[in-house]
Amino acid sequence: EAQVTQNPRYLITVTGKKLTVTCSQNMNHEYMSWYRQDPGLGLRQIYYSMNVEVTDKGDVPEGYKVSRKEKRNFPLILESPSPNQTSLYFCASSLTVNEKLFFGSGTQLSVL
Amino acid sequence: KNEVEQSPQNLTAQEGEFITINCSYSVGISALHWLQQHPGGGIVSLFMLSSGKKKHGRLIATINIQEKHSSLHITASHPRDSAVYICAVSFPFGNEKLTFGTGTRLTIIP
């Protein structure tokens, strides 16, 4: 089954404790991206990747890191999380940015 | 700044009504996506458009490139259509970013 697998589904952590949210797709997609969703602000793009070893900033990259060492995986790293990073996060993939998007099920992150 | 605006923000209708949700953008685009997010959070892609019109079941999406406007229509609306509908656009000139509208919350009353 074609899917984007995102883990964990829920995460509660404390300020400053490094964490990683994983994202994996099984469709051989070149484009992968991360978004955060906040009430009243909608979805905003954090980082995206056009292919292996090719990443670029979205609209809200501060405080986040990504890597794309393999085509199928695109982890989101918060090296020193802060409370303003409490949000609902989504990973997505597609053949290109101008093709149908496939979303992961989301990660609800709370930073205390 | 490249902007995307959706209207209305909230829409409540009776079952069976014809629904229209609008999305306008400020500059030329490469493609426009319509997404659906049900309560509980999962996001599903409904359409990707770069021109013309697409139809899937009771859903129809149109785009007018000259007027920088897209519409999502739902015919014979049903309570299961209750969701947030989001448009997102990609802009040309080598930019692979997506910019999102803030969404339209649709509630269909039985």
DSSP string, B57-72: TTEEEEEETTTTEEEE
- Least confident interval from A32-36, A45-49, A78-82, B26-30: B26-30
Within 8 A by CB and 6+ apart from B56, the residues are B46, B47
Q: How far apart are the first and last CA of chain B?
A: 41
- CA B44 – CA A85 distance, rounded (Å): 24
Within 8 A by CB and 6+ apart from B42, the residues are A103, A105, A106
Confidence band of B1 (pLDDT split at 50, 70, 90): low
- Chain B residues within an 8 Å CB radius of A103: 35, 42-45
Q: What confidence score (pLDDT) does residue B79 get?
A: 96
pLDDT digits (tens, 9 = 90+) for B45-101: 999 999 999 999 999 999 999 999 999 999 999 999 999 999 999 887 656 788 999
Q: What confidence score (pLDDT) does residue B27 get?
A: 84
pLDDT digits (tens, 9 = 90+) for B22-47: 999 988 888 999 999 998 879 999 99
- The two tokens of residue B25 are 């953008």
Interchain contact A54–B (C-beta under 8 A) = no
A45: nearest CB among B42, B43, B97: B97
- Mutate which of B29, B87, B91, B97 to disrupt the A interface (most A C-beta within 10 Å)? B97
Task: Please tell me which residue, A58 or B27, carries the higher pLDDT value.
Answer: A58
Task: Give the residue-averaged pLDDT of A63-80.
Answer: 97
- Chain A residues within an 8 Å CB radius of B30: 97-98
Are B11 and B107 a contacting pair, CB within 8 Å?
yes
- CA A27 – CA A22 distance, rounded (Å): 16
pLDDT digits (tens, 9 = 90+) for A17-40: 999 999 999 999 999 999 999 988
- CA A19 – CA A79 distance, rounded (Å): 6
Mean pLDDT of chain A: 95
- CA B27 – CA B39 distance, rounded (Å): 31
- Mutate which of A35, A43, A68, A91 to disrupt the B interface (most B C-beta within 10 Å)? A43
Task: Give the residue-averaged pLDDT of B9-17.
Answer: 97
Q: How much of chain A exceeds pLDDT 70, in percent?
A: 100
DSSP code string of A55-111:
EEE-S--TT-EE--SSSSB--EEESS--GGG-EEEEEEEESSTTS--EE---EEEEE
- A90·B50 Cβ contact <8 A: no
Q: What confidence score (pLDDT) does residue B30 get?
A: 87
- CA B40 – CA A18 distance, rounded (Å): 27
Confidence band of A107 (pLDDT split at 50, 70, 90): very high
A98: nearest CB among B35, B48, B102: B48
